[in-house]
Amino acid sequence: MGKILKRILTAFLVIFVLAFLAWLLSYMYDSIPVLQTLFGSSSGNQAGLRVPTDDPGKVELFMPVFGGKISLFIFTFIIFLQIFAVVMAAHVVKKIVKSNYNAAYKLARFKNADTFLDLPLYIGLFGSVSSFLLISFSPQSSRLVAYSSTLIGIIFSVIARLGILYPAKEKIISDAASEKLEINE
């Protein structure tokens, strides 16, 4: 019974945090002009769904605002996913380094862990594809999200390979070399 209650509470906490983040992003989009400029529609594009307001004769443009907010949500989601992927790659590499196997086996396991190091690239590609689906709502912001998610995915993947994988492999290789020296002496 305790495990079920813990899982239910965790699910409610995750839903609450996600709802809070959605509200916070929507509030930030509405109150920070730079976000509206980056993720809103271009000034020349006034196409979209027009929604009547309380003032008769006045209409409000809905689709560019909706498309801009959705683009901001997708961009933020992609960034969080890529950070999570780098943290997960660091965890996997750390687990391999701390294992009690010999150096050859650890290096072989690193080849298997390449998927985790390439995960930011795949997430960036997902961001590109998902933002191109929104091109009809907000062309400017969907292109911004597409290009930036791909670029951030490349950068995060390079950081993971150079900052996490390379030092770990160097440590294992130097440890193996020092063990051979001790055995030979």
> Cα–Cα distance between 174 and 33 in angstroms, integer?
53
Q: Which pLDDT belongs to residue 161?
A: 92
Say what the pTM is: 0.72
Residues spanned by the domain of 25: 1-31
Residues 96 and 25 in one domain: no
Q: Which pLDDT belongs to residue 49?
A: 45
Is residue 164 in some structural domain? yes
Domains identified in the chain, total number: 2
Residues 24 and 76 in one domain: no
Residues 88 and 164 in one domain: yes
Is residue 73 in some structural domain? yes
Report which DSSP code applies to 136.
Answer: T
Residues 22 and 112 in one domain: no
Q: Which pLDDT belongs to residue 185?
A: 44
Average pLDDT over residues 119-139: 85
Is residue 52 in some structural domain? no
**Residue 168: pLDDT over 80:** yes
Average of per-residue pLDDT values in the chain: 81
Please, where are the H alpha helices in 32-61? 33-39
Residues in the chain, how many? 185
Residue with tokens 């951030």: 152
Structure tokens at 29: 């989009």
Residues 82 and 142 in one domain: yes
Q: In degrees to the nearest 10, what's the CA dihedral of 95, 98, 103, 108? A: 0
Is residue 95 in some structural domain? yes
Residues 87 and 17 in one domain: no
Residue 112 CA: distances (Å) to CA of 86, 89, 105: 16, 12, 11
**Residue 25: pLDDT over 90:** no
Structure tokens at 124: 């960036």
Residues 15 and 83 in one domain: no
Residues 15 and 87 in one domain: no
Is residue 101 in some structural domain? yes
Residues 17 and 90 in one domain: no
Neighbours of 137 (CB within 10 A): 22
Q: With bands split at pLDDT 50, 70 and 90, how would you rate the model's confidence at 58?
A: low
By the 8 A CB rule, do 153 and 123 touch? yes
